[in-house]
Every structure is written in structure tokens, then in C-alpha cells.
Homo-oligomer: A and B are copies of this chain.
Amino acid sequence: MTTNPSSPQGEPPASRRVAAALRALIESGELSPGDVLPSERGLSEQFGVARNTAREAVRLLADEGLVIAKHGKGVFVREEPRLLRFGSERYSQKIREETGLSPYRAEVSKQGRTARVDCTSITRVPAPALVAERLFLPTESEVARRENWYYADDEPVQCGVTYIPWHIAQGSVLGDSANLGPGSLYARFDELGYPIKVIREEISARMPRISEKEALKIPDGVPVIEVIHTGINHEGTPFEVTIFTMRADTNGLDYTIPVED
């Protein structure tokens, strides 16, 4: 049989029909999170389509983030993972002083999980345009670049690259040491005359680059949230830009903000 290439009438293609059938099972709860779907070969037989067509149906669901395929095991309905919500209050000086924790650690331990932060590199580089702009520096000015990887229960959840004008980082641990001491980054800035008083966060979302997908172990069908964070002191001077990239299925943001009159 070599017929039915796509559809006889205005009906949707076979792959969509199969996908719709599976989606209905999931949304109705007949298939619960964690459950395994019928195998591709099974679907192909049940619905009378080629295996590739069944596979295409599964792909459609994976692209919606509804299911996730595990090589050699099966295709599973995706479980809702615990969501880390990063809020503006995590920069609060009080939290820092009371707990001695960095913003990230404060959030993660609040949820009873184990935080780990690795500073994987500290370098001195010319500022990328996007960074120079926000720090009010001429392009290519020198900045310290600190790359950090954040884990919760040993799962990678986000990556943050911090840029600091070299004239600030110079001579302090900011410019050369992975170990920032108690209270971490913002405690050091504070001591250097740059208390964090205002933050600006620019948020967008996109699909991960392959490198990000691998490094953060991001499954198919999961976007990343990108945050361009600018730290600003009491005088309105920006002193630090950090670009965060985080898995969107395990991370979120939560801001409580006073409205100007």
C-alpha cells in the first residue's frame, strides 16, 4: 500500500491525527505525568501508519513540551518539575547579612534544595557591546569576566556571566578569585563603594543553542530564559552586568515592584 500521501480530503495529516489522539489522552488524564506512551512501532500498528509517521506525531508533542523521549526506554509524559522562582528580593541586603548567602543560594535553600555554584573562569576581556552600553563604558573597555554555573541538587539549572569594569574589579577578589568570601559578590561590591540599590532586568526567551542545550542538559522542547541583569548603586551608577541563561522548565522569575506615580 503506497497510498494516502498526507490526506484524502481537507482532513489533517495522519501525523497530526495521531498527535491529537495522544494529546487528548494526556489532557484528559488517561496518561499521567511519568506514564509511558505506546511505542512508535505500537502506534504505527494501532493507527495503521508507517513508523515514521507515528514518530512524527511524537515529535509534534515533544515540540510542545508535552512528552520527552528516553532512548531505549520509551516516550514519557513530561512531569512538572519544581520551579525555582527568582525574585527581586533576593538582592536584599538584609537577607545577605542574615544568612551570608548569595542571591542564588538564598533562593535554592529556601526551597530545601542543595545549592552549588562553580566559578569556572575569571578573565579580563574587552567589554562586549551589549555590556559596554549598559555600564556606560566605551566599547572594548576592559572588564573582568566571571563565568558561573549554578546547580540545585547537582543538576545544572543556570549559567551566569558577570562583567565588571576593570577599574572596580582591579585589586579586589572580584577580579581574580573564585572564592568571594561571606555574602559573596554583592557584599564585596558594597565594601568597594558600590552597594546594590537598583537593579534592571531585561528578560527574553528563546530556544537554546546546541552548546547551551548540552551544558545545561536541556531536553527537547524546552526554551531558555535569558536575563540581562544590571546592578546599579546609590548614585545611579551601573557597576555590574550579568547575563543569566536558565532552563525555562525549571526556572522562573518573580518580581514585586512598586509602581511610580
Q: Which residues in A have some Cβ–Cβ distance to B below 8 Å?
A: 63-65, 83, 85, 88-89, 91-94, 196-210, 220-225, 248-249, 252-261
B255 near A209 (CB under 8 angstroms)? no
28 A-B interface contacts by CB (under 8 A)? A63-B63, A65-B206, A65-B207, A83-B204, A88-B255, A88-B259, A93-B260, A197-B258, A198-B256, A198-B257, A199-B256, A200-B255, A201-B254, A202-B253, A203-B252, A203-B253, A203-B255, A204-B252, A204-B253, A205-B223, A205-B224, A205-B248, A206-B249, A207-B222, A207-B223, A223-B248, A255-B255, A258-B258
Q: How many copies of this chain are found per oligomer?
A: 2
**Looking across the interface, which residue of chain B has its beta carbon closest to that of A251?**
B204
A52 to B: closest C-beta gap in Å: 8
Distance between Cα atoms of A239 and B252 in the complex (Å): 23
**Looking across the interface, which residue of chain B has its beta carbon closest to that of A195?**
B259
Name, among A206, A223, A253, the residue most crowded by chain B CB atoms within 10 Å (CB to CB).
A223
Given the contacts A205-B225, A207-B221, A198 and B252 also touching, CB distance less than 8 Å: no
Distance between Cα atoms of A207 and B258 in the complex (Å): 30
A85 near B202 (CB under 8 angstroms)? yes
Q: Which of B85, B200, B206, B222 contacts A256 (CB 8 A)?
A: B200
Distance between Cα atoms of A200 and B253 in the complex (Å): 10
Given the contacts A65-B207, A207-B223, A252 and B88 also touching, CB distance less than 8 Å: no
Given the contacts A63-B63, A261-B94, A206 and B254 also touching, CB distance less than 8 Å: no
Task: Specify which chain B residues have a CB less than 8 angstroms from the CB of A210 in the assembled complex.
Answer: 64
Distance between Cα atoms of A198 and B94 in the complex (Å): 21
Distance between Cα atoms of A119 and B222 in the complex (Å): 31
Task: Specify which chain B residues have a CB less than 8 angstroms from the CB of A63 in the assembled complex.
Answer: 63, 207, 220
A205 near B202 (CB under 8 angstroms)? no
Name, among A63, A205, A221, A254, the residue most crowded by chain B CB atoms within 10 Å (CB to CB).
A205
